[in-house]
Amino acid sequence: MSLLARVQSMVWALEPTVLDSLVQVVSRHDAGTRLSDEEIRAAIGRAPGARVDTGYRVENGVGIVPISGVIAKYASQVNDVSQSEGTSCDMILQDMRQALADPNVHAILLQIESPGGAVDGVADTASIIRDAAKIKPVVAFIDDMGASAAYWMACQAGTVYATATAVVGSIGVRTVMVDTSEQTKARGLVVHSIASGPAKAVGQPGVSISPEDRAVVQERVNSLAAIFFSCVQSGRDLSSDELASVTDGRVWIGEQAQAKGLIDGVRTYDAVMA
């Protein structure tokens, strides 16, 4: 499977502009263009020199779990998508277990600076965070951005803080279907899709995407979004009307996010640690 086909086959809880940039990068890669690490970081919204504290650490009895860059289920997927800038769900779970097992850690801080990522593994990770908060205090701190999958995890902490300029929200899921049929024709190729059922070949590269294909994918997106929305509603104790007002895909900045009930307050990192 090509990297582009892999990206298209995944459902993403990722800030839209980052996903669009990611698809463009991968499309150029599949077309033979090789980009530098700096170009890739710029394309997925990671500016060189941006502050990211990598690796689990303990400060004054607080276990700090970093969640930065594009999120994927496994470390190998992170390396494919975002080089060393991303975080995998298995990394987060390993850090959470270490913090819970350490008798010298009395609280856990999720240090978040992420546009979100792939849906796979996020619901389970969010559930672990929710369970951990019943054992030790868990605080999420959104530094610059906590969107989509990153917010899915953050909202399960007992308390959520963000900086004054942090981007919070983008609650929803999305996938991308690229119709490569005309490109395939231009290369003189004809793709015949042979499958056991009409939904089995949805997204087949080189084949036109039909309304029926889109309906199948839309149903999957809706189902995953419902799980995400339910997690936000329970994690933040939102009414149905409050939930509806924050699940249209928009993002909010600092105090706007607090007014929407998405965070508990605006703080600096040092203030949260204190």
Q: How high is the pLDDT of residue 193?
A: 80
The mean pLDDT value of the chain amounts to 84
User: In terms of Cα–Cα distance, which of 267, 259, 223 is closest to 242?
Assistant: 259
Residue 149 confidence (pLDDT) above 70: yes
pLDDT of residue 91: 92
Better pLDDT: 20 or 93: 93
Using CA atoms, how far apart are residues 65 and 111, in angstroms rounded to an integer? 6
> Confidence band (pLDDT; 50, 70, 90) for 245?
very high
**DSSP-assigned letter for residue 83:** G
Give the model's confidence band at 67: pLDDT under 50 very low, under 70 low, under 90 confident, else very high.
very high
Average pLDDT over residues 183-190: 84
pLDDT value at residue 238: 97
Element (H, E) at 225: helix 211-236
Q: What is the pLDDT of residue 173?
A: 94
Render pLDDT for 198-243 as a digit per residue (tens, 0 to 9): 888 787 778 888 888 889 989 999 999 999 999 999 999 999 999 9
State the pTM of this model: 0.83
Mean pLDDT over residues 63-84, rounded? 72
Percentage with pLDDT > 70 across the chain: 78
pLDDT on residue 247: 96
Token output for 91: 């990394």
C-alpha distances in Å from residue 266, one per residue of 39, 72, 112, 123, 206: 32, 28, 14, 26, 48
Contact 269, 166 (CB under 8 A): no
pLDDT tens-digit readout, 9-60: 577 788 777 766 666 666 666 566 666 656 555 554 444 334 445 689 999 9
Phi, psi angle pair for 198, to nearest 5°: -60, -30
Assess whether pLDDT exceeds 80 at residue 260.
yes
Asked if residues 117 and 14 have their Cβ atoms less than 8 Å apart, the reply is yes
| Mode of pairing for the β-strands spanning 138-147 and 159-162 | parallel
